[in-house]
Structure 1
Amino acid sequence: MNSWQLLFKRISQNWKQQFAVVKRVVDWTVLVYLVIPTIVISFFIYQSWWIQIPGWMRILPLSAIFVLFFLFLWGDHFLTYVREADRIFLRKKEKLFLGMKRGGIIYSYAFQWWSAATLCLFIAPLWFIHFDLQVGQLILFAALWVSLKWFIMAVKGKLDVELRGWRSLLRGIPLFIGAAIIWTWCYKAFINDNILMIATLIFINTIVSIWLVRSRFTSVHTFEKDLAIDELEKNKYMEIIFGLSMDMEKMPKPVPVRNSPRLYSKSNRIFKNRTPKNGFIELFIKATTRNIEYIIGYFQIMGVTSAAMVILPPIWLKVTMASLGTIFLLIWLGSVWHKVIGSHSFTKKYASEEGYFEGKKMVTTVLAIPFIIIICCSFIINIWIRNHFFFF
């Protein structure tokens, strides 16, 4: 087996693994009643865009396309498809190992071009009919986007991917600001038809990305970095899919052992009135506030729904997203309650008592109120923006 055969085998295994995870989450009922109808409806909607652009899309400025594509710049790395076992076997076969790594990086470059082509195909009706731009301009736009994405991927490959928490956030701020400045230059060069500036930006982004990734391309001594990046990418989509799954069993993440928790270190009572309902609510509050994942999940649902209320122009899309967000929040809260209270070995035997259901109802109501308030405020903000900024 040569290096390219090994690479294609690894790529195939990776896609099969991701597909297997999706199959475990999306059962046949979801596939038949939700996924397939969504694909069919989306196809006919997209086809109708080539005939007549919807009214809400006609108010979009070209800058909105650049803002949208800026959001798609993040989240990917250059992959080499190494595995933990390669530490023993393949590193002794340097030519085979290095050939596979090089092929993986070349594949990552090519895959981003395919991503750019897919995204550009999606906006093609808007690009040609609404903005009245040409194919050559779309190719230049795709080249600008993919070159900057290569640059960001190369920089991220130099950073410590195993760093988490606030340190990772602080480290990413300079990269975010730098990418925003470069993308702004790209936008100005594009609207001014400055071909020389566009070609210069594409050239610099591409050359810098190649220079930054050169050590991973030419050496086998970056194995630990390659392995960390590949493991991060392999688990990223699994964690998203597992997080959306309500029924799939998930392995608990290891947490450091502490002599006492940061919150409620002395097991302070939250409620003075000791009733079964208050007991369940108190246990839920302590369990969820001590776990940052539950807090992040709640604010993610709230943030995505409120952002959709501000960004999406047509009123029917706003109402749909608000309804779907509310339903998803209620389902998610029920899942968290069951995981924390209903399935716990010490409390599940009380799951049939009245206090259990009263506590669940109270928690759902209290947490739904801020969500509804934020959604309403987002709708008001959208109205204010439309009244003051005509291009929205």
Structure 2
Amino acid sequence: MRRYLIASTTFQRDKIMTSFQLFRRRLTQDWLFQIRTFRSIADWTIWLYLIIPTIVVSIFIYRSWWIDGAPTWMAWMPVSFIFLLGYFFSWTGAYRFYTDEADMVFLIKKDSLFYGLRKWGFFYSLIFQAMNTLVVVIALLPFLIQYSQLTFKHAFYYFFFLLAMKYFVMYLKFYLKKIQSKMKRIIVTILAFILLSWFAKIISFLWISGNFGIVIIISMVVGFVSTYFYYPLVKKKSLFSIELAIEQEEKLKLLQAIHQMSFDIEKTKVYSRKKPWLFRNSKRIFKKRTSRNGFLELFIKVFIRNTSYILTYMQICSATVAALIIVPPIWMKVIIFIGFLLMMWIWLGITWERVVLSHPFSKKYQGYDAYFLARNWAIGVLFICAILVVGLFAGSGYFLVNQISFPQV
């Protein structure tokens, strides 16, 4: 209620504004929110020992790529690999209208102001995503020009294709958000991701072979169709709830990333369904009822039901697999794998304490032998499973990279 009262006061103060002035105020507020979020973790020590050194080192590395060429460990990377990187990048971002939850009550009654705000947000999203794409292409220029011996013409058409793909994916993500069933939305998203990856692969062949005319025509058609069909949605009030959900996700993306990387913040998960997918009837996992099995059953059920734990577990494994495949030197692979072992073991220990010790009743028995036996067994099993998953996928990926031949320029 307090939020609506604040929004009402703000609206009464802003109602004499034009739509552009209101958009500018909302945009400024959003940037200030992101700055405050970043400053909450970046104190002077982070700036002095992490951020500033990283910026300086990145500048020197980028300069060395232009002067001395790309490093030798990139020798195995085919030119088409940058299309893979660009394709992953195209799935980031979304259209933002800078609307607020209270607008449904106050601003939605002012058609001209409401449509004007959404219109300015739409055009700003197009420009902002174009600038992001340009930054990515500039960062890849040394690899394109110096290492792969391509031309600036290749980079120019690569930029247009990435931008068109980004506009199309942003249009597609809106309709994916409309799917009510979470499982159906995940399946459709995976299928769309695979189909578009095949499309990007075909375009990469045309781009490498120098068929720029076909590439630019396809890029213009995809980009124009995506923006042309999305722009009429700006005037539809019935889609306000979906757009508001997307807006909140984009606004809180940095904050959620900080929470996800922080071991000191509990990641709570709110469920929209009444029963979980697994153990919905809360049946016993172990037939033998012991204190150790009781701790294990509590941890297993909570760990599997809470998708944030599963996703974090898989993210650590998948990031390690990607690093082991991409980084060629053996000594760097060893360092990455050791870092993975330490990170996974520490994270599993912290997760166990969050799950089991979150309730005062279970916390009362944390000094018992059964508690430590269950803790060591659960962490050990998940730890070994993580090693097997990383070893299996990293080995398979390394084999495929060495067996599959990509087209070269």
Partner of 1:133, secondary structure, is coil
- Give the match for residue 339 of structure 1: 354
- Give the match for residue 196 of structure 1: 213
- Give the match for residue 4 of structure 2: none
Does the alignment pair 1:357 with 2:372? yes
1:110-189 counterparts in 2 under 5 A? Answer: 110-161=127-178, 163=180, 165-189=182-206
Task: Give the distance between the partners of 1:154 and 1:387, measured in 2 at CA.
Answer: 36
Does the alignment pair 1:321 with 2:336? yes
Residues 95 and 122, structure 2, Cα contact 8 Å, conserved in 1: yes
Deviation larger for 228-237 or 185-194:
228-237
- Give the match for residue 5 of structure 1: 21
Residues 312 and 318, structure 1, Cα contact 8 Å, conserved in 2: yes
Please list every run of 5 or more consecutive structure 1 residues that lacks an aligned counterpart in the other structure: none
Identity of aligned residues (%): 32
- Residue 17 of structure 1 deviates from its aligned partner by 2.6
Change (3 A) 1:17 1:55: same
2:320 maps to a residue whose letter is T
- Give the match for residue 283 of structure 1: 298
Change (3 A) 1:116 1:18: same
Change (3 A) 1:261 1:141: closer
Residues paired across the two proteins, number: 390
Residues 271 and 282, structure 1, Cα contact 8 Å, conserved in 2: no
- Residue 224 of structure 1 deviates from its aligned partner by 3.1
Residues 309 and 378, structure 1, Cα contact 8 Å, conserved in 2: no
1:37-92 per-residue CA deviation (whole Å, 9 max, x = no partner) reads 44443333333222322101133211111111111111322111111111222222
1:70-120 per-residue CA deviation (whole Å, 9 max, x = no partner) reads 111113221111111112222222222212111111111111111111111
Task: Give the distance between the partners of 1:209 and 1:360, measured in 2 at CA.
Answer: 51
Change (3 A) 1:222 1:268: closer
User: Which of 53, 63, 75 lines up with 1:47 in the alignment?
Assistant: 63
Please list every run of 5 or more consecutive structure 2 residues that lacks an aligned counterpart in the other structure: 1-16
- Residue 284 of structure 1 deviates from its aligned partner by 1.4
Residues 160 and 216, structure 2, Cα contact 8 Å, conserved in 1: no
Residues 81 and 101, structure 1, Cα contact 8 Å, conserved in 2: yes
Change (3 A) 1:22 1:135: same
Residues 267 and 308, structure 2, Cα contact 8 Å, conserved in 1: no
- Give the match for residue 33 of structure 2: 17
- Residue 121 of structure 1 deviates from its aligned partner by 1.7
Deviation larger for 281-290 or 265-274:
265-274
What TM-score, normalized by structure 2, do the two folds share? 0.84
Change (3 A) 1:387 1:363: same
Task: Give the distance between the partners of 1:228 and 1:274, measured in 2 at CA.
Answer: 45
- Residue 365 of structure 1 deviates from its aligned partner by 1.9
Does the alignment pair 1:98 with 2:98? no
- Give the match for residue 79 of structure 2: 62
Change (3 A) 1:195 1:75: closer
- Residue 147 of structure 1 deviates from its aligned partner by 1.0
4+ runs deviating over 6 angstroms = none
Change (3 A) 1:120 1:75: closer
2:242 maps to a residue whose letter is K
Change (3 A) 1:367 1:27: farther
RMSD of aligned alpha carbons: 2.9
Task: Give the distance between the partners of 1:347 and 1:140, measured in 2 at CA.
Answer: 60
- Residue 382 of structure 1 deviates from its aligned partner by 5.1
- Give the match for residue 84 of structure 1: 101
1:221-240 counterparts in 2 under 5 A? Answer: 222-240=239-257
